[in-house]
Structure 1
């Protein structure tokens, strides 16, 4: 009988799990993922950093992938499940800039996209944690901008959303993490302008001339 079996047998039925151990394990897992990348993380390293045994980790997670998925979900546990309700494209871009302005979020994003071939579950967990409703809100915001004449009528909001997603990944890959929210907003505005987008002030000026 192994350590895990001994410990499980000693635990009275129905005894609640130690919440402090849960938090220590998940914190250690996400910190190691950020610091080293998935290929350099092991259950043993997580247990050591968390100050628990490997058996304690395995009682909660059957393998490293499940542990890291749990850590990603825990990292974004306070994310709002409600779909964002941006009044316009500028508000949407400001929201993105606030998220990407966090060096921690940017590094985690890079780490997770690098795992897409070997650990696709991690990137899926990230997308789920960040909320698929956000993607629906992006399409709705772009579609509204097209109806309002701020995007050309021929622009496909779905395709433009994909372009913006790629632009976000490129930004966090090539720009220093010290770049601030203003720079990020300007970057996305430039990308949108290439698709024919007219910011509110410019659009209002055209309306006045008419």
Structure 2
């Protein structure tokens, strides 16, 4: 992603629709990564993307929708597509580690850290983002946990919502203690260590 304002050549025509889509999302994502939510405005995105304000508003009715789309752009998340179903909880934690680590995922780490305080500073945005982005992913995690309990990998009296929150907290703890990244293996080991504290039965262990 670029880190400076850029403008179209003096005689360039309007970008084609797909080019404008990408330019808008990249511009908004760059501003999010550089300055957080407060650094993003439709005017600034339009200037950086080299498009007009109406071009943005034809795609996004307001700043909230633009911000959510930009976050999904960074996360490479497409809400309209069905979330993949991991084979087991270990595979899900492996996916999380892969998504967070490596130089190609620096933007994901930076943005996640920037979003930590969004509920306090921008409660209306946080509520909208949670509804369209966070809750669908939480629902997928709940399904995995329920399936694992049905397989006997958690005791019947396990509070799976507490387990889900512990694992989400483990992701945030890993990020805050390793803001510049670590390795996939280190992240995965940490997530699995937290999971083992929940009375979860690893594969190959007799119940």
In the other structure, the counterpart of 2:11 is none
Number of residue pairs matched by the alignment? 188
Q: What TM-score, normalized by structure 2, do the two folds share?
A: 0.74
Deviations 1:138-187 (A, max 9, x none): 22332333344432332111221122112222222222332121111111
Pairing 1:13-162 to 2, within 5 Å after superposition: 18-75=17-74, 76=76, 78=78, 81-101=81-101, 102-117=105-120, 118=122, 120-121=124-125, 124-125=128-129, 128-129=132-133, 132=136, 134-162=137-165
The two structures, once aligned, show a CA RMSD in angstroms of 3.0
User: Which structure has the larger Rg?
Assistant: 1
Counterparts of 2:153 and 2:18, CA distance in 1:
50
Alpha-carbon offset, residue 94 of structure 1 = 1.0
Counterparts of 1:128 and 1:29, CA distance in 2:
18
Counterparts of 1:141 and 1:23, CA distance in 2:
33
Whether 1:185 aligns to 2:188 is yes
Counterparts of 1:183 and 1:123, CA distance in 2:
32
> Do the aligned partners of 1:65 and 1:122 also contact (CA within 8 Å) in 2?
no
Q: What TM-score, normalized by structure 1, do the two folds share?
A: 0.73
Q: Indicate the structure with greater helix content.
A: 1
In the other structure, the counterpart of 1:3 is none
Counterparts of 1:58 and 1:137, CA distance in 2:
32
Counterparts of 2:60 and 2:80, CA distance in 1:
25
Q: Which runs of 5+ in 2 are unaligned?
A: 1-15
Counterparts of 1:153 and 1:180, CA distance in 2:
34
Residues 198 and 27 of structure 1: is their aligned pair in 2 closer, same or farther, counting only changes over 3 Å? Answer: same
